[in-house]
Amino acid sequence: MTDNEYRSMYNEDPYAAQTALFDEYLNFVCAIVYNKLRSCGSREDMEECVGDVFSAVFLHFDSKGSFSGDLKALIGTIASRTAVQKYRSIIRHSNTVYIADETGEIADDERLEEKTDRSIMQGTMLRLIKSLGEPDSDIILQKYYYNMNSNEIADKHSMSPATVRMRCSRALKKLKALLMAEGYDMKEGSI
């Protein structure tokens, strides 16, 4: 559906035009929202975000007049920005640390197996890191996922930087042993 088609439908029957736009782009918007919120959002959060996206799209067309361009690109941009805002809102009001793959890539057939293996490895790694217990799991996540240095981590956990480095070293040894028990062959420096 082009902007001109939508405009002519909207002039005849605004409700029918909105319904047609919703039907055509629902799966597209759901895919974008799901990819942004899958690591932290509930089903209700995702549904609410999809509704917010279409509300923003309809308000954009009602208030700003004509848009000369690709509707899919405009709707995709609004969906992405709305989902990012929702993601930030969810994590701001939560004490849980979420690690999301923000590449936004859709797996192609040739690399599907590689991406699946990497995803399984990441899931296993996160599960094993969490099994280390507090504060070791937090220290590992903050150091290797969020690139925080020992001073920043020490401030956050009320310990000295030397203690953070020692706990990190010990936690990495435990993690390596856990990974080897899971069947992963870990070489030095690959964690």
Domain boundaries, the chain: 3-92, 112-181
The model's pTM is 0.47
Mean pLDDT of successive 10-residue segments in the chain (191 residues)?
A: 74 84 88 86 87 84 60 85 87 62 50 68 80 85 80 86 88 85 64 48
Second-level CATH architecture of 3-92: Orthogonal Bundle (1.10)
What pLDDT, on a 0 to 100 scale, did the predictor assign at position 68? 61
Q: What is the pLDDT at residue 107?
A: 47
- pLDDT, position 121: 74
Q: What pLDDT is stored for residue 35 in this prediction?
A: 87
The CATH code of the domain at 112-181 is 1.10.10.10
CA-based nearest residue to 57, from 82, 27, 89, 94 = 82
Q: Sort 188 into a burial class: Cβ within 10 Å, 0-12 / 13-18 / 19+.
A: exposed
